[in-house]
Amino acid sequence: MKIKYLALGLAACAFTAPVAAQEVTGNVALGSDYVFRGITQTDGGPAISGGFDVEAEGFYVGVWGSSVDFSDDTTMELDLYGGYAFSGAGFDYDIGVIYYAYPDSPSAGGDQNFVEFYGGIGRSFGPVGWDAKLSYSPEFYGETGQAWYLETGLGMEVFEGISVDGRIGASRFDDFPGADYEDYQLGVSGTVFGNVGWDLRYHDLSDGGDESVVVTFSQSFGD
């Protein structure tokens, strides 16, 4: 079973705080690979991606797309999402829903499009940021039934403008328990030329497959 992955890479820091007025932001990125939950989405090749977000009073909606290569006719992933971010009792929270669409996917082999609901929590402990997130799909990719993904991570700034983080995730499939696996990643990130982001990241799986090192450069707008 081929598992899909979304590149909404959460750095292991607190979630975005609510904003008082409407804010529109955009982003573009070029990476040497597109890895989702430890599995390449571009057959080990480069990916270009980008999206837009609108936030107001803690509520947000957004769209994000990326090139993909599934060794069939599928060449694009398009994600639509919305949610609410808020803070309380020293923690930051994020709840929402995301729809993964593959507009040019072939119809054979089950429906590739699917929905996930998610909830996250984060907090800073001095210089260290921690977060955790649970995602649930009632009908996962390929119409393979209920699926869960639990992830957590830590991150911190080690030098001015340079941060490191580590994450672990666990994928669970109700109808295919033999497909359950864990993924791991370690990354270092920063900026160059003032506002161009860079990220160097190592990915690995519990079964030893799809080990990779990914370099990504990104640019955001409207921050």
Handedness of CA 167, 97, 55, 50 (dihedral sign): positive
Query: Is the model's pLDDT at 4 over the cut of 90?
Result: no
Query: Is the model's pLDDT at 107 over the cut of 90?
Result: no
What pairing do the DSSP bridges indicate for beta strands 196-205 and 114-125? unpaired
Residue-level pLDDT at 214: 98
Residue-level pLDDT at 195: 86
Provide the pLDDT confidence category of residue 209 given band limits of 50, 70 and 90. confident
Query: Is the model's pLDDT at 1 over the cut of 50?
Result: no
Q: What does the alpha-carbon distance between residue 75 and residue 94 come to, in Å, rounded to a whole number?
A: 30
Domain 23-221 has CATH 2.40.40.20: no
Q: What pLDDT, in 10s, does the model give residues 70-90? A: 988 899 999 999 999 999 999
Residue-level pLDDT at 111: 87
Q: What is the mean pLDDT of residues 16-32?
A: 79
Element (H, E) at 128: strand 128-137
When comparing pLDDT for 9 and 125, which is higher?
125
Query: Is the model's pLDDT at 16 over the cut of 50?
Result: no
Q: What pLDDT, in 10s, does the model give residues 30-63? A: 999 999 999 999 999 999 999 999 999 999 999 9
pTM: 0.89
Report the Cα 71 to chain-centroid distance in Å: 22
Provide the pLDDT confidence category of residue 194 given band limits of 50, 70 and 90. confident
Provide the pLDDT confidence category of residue 108 given band limits of 50, 70 and 90. low
How does the average pLDDT of the chain come out, rounded?
90
Residue 80, exposed/middle/buried by CB under 10 A (0-12, 13-18, 19+)?
middle
Residue-level pLDDT at 203: 97
Residue 210 carries which DSSP code? Answer: S
